[in-house]
């Protein structure tokens, strides 16, 4: 997990695999996003190969928090198939704005 700031955007880059064992690290990253209070938080999921319900719950909580504060949460892709499937199967992809960071690694 890597956190950086670009102008008024906080970028959180997630890589590899995330599951319940990473919950404490994720909570620390979300705390950073809440404290930064920038207009936009972008979560780069393009290099995330696997995620379970822990990530989904965290993203939904961040989405609700950002909406309540008048801020934007954007997911950056292209999403890897397992992450895309997690959002699709749970019916939660419609809650998020998903933007592409570049060409798909599968094209």
Q: What is the pTM of this model?
A: 0.89
71 within a domain of the structure (yes/no): yes
CATH classification at residue 62: 3.30.750.24
Containing structural domain, residue 92: 2-100
Task: Point out the residues of the chain with pLDDT beneath 50.
Answer: 103-107
106 within a domain of the structure (yes/no): no
Quick: pLDDT tens for 55-75: 999 999 999 999 999 999 999
What pLDDT does residue 66 have?
95
42 within a domain of the structure (yes/no): yes
Residue 50 contacts residue 82 (beta carbons within 8 Å): yes
Domain count, the chain: 1
What pLDDT does residue 1 have?
87
14 within a domain of the structure (yes/no): yes
CA distance 27 to 10: 15
105 within a domain of the structure (yes/no): no
């Amino acid at each position: 997990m890597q956190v950086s700031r670009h102008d008024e955007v906080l970028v959180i880059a997630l890589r590899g695999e995330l599951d319940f064992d990473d919950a404490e690290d994720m909570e620390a990253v979300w705390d950073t996003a809440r404290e930064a209070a920038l207009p936009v938080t972008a979560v780069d999921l393009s290099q995330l190969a696997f995620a379970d319900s822990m990530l989904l719950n965290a993203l939904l909580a961040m989405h609700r928090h950002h909406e309540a504060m008048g801020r934007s949460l954007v997911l950056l892709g292209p999403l890897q198939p397992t992450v895309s499937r997690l959002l699709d199967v749970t019916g939660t992809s419609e809650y998020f704005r998903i933007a592409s960071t570049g060409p798909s690694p599968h094209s």
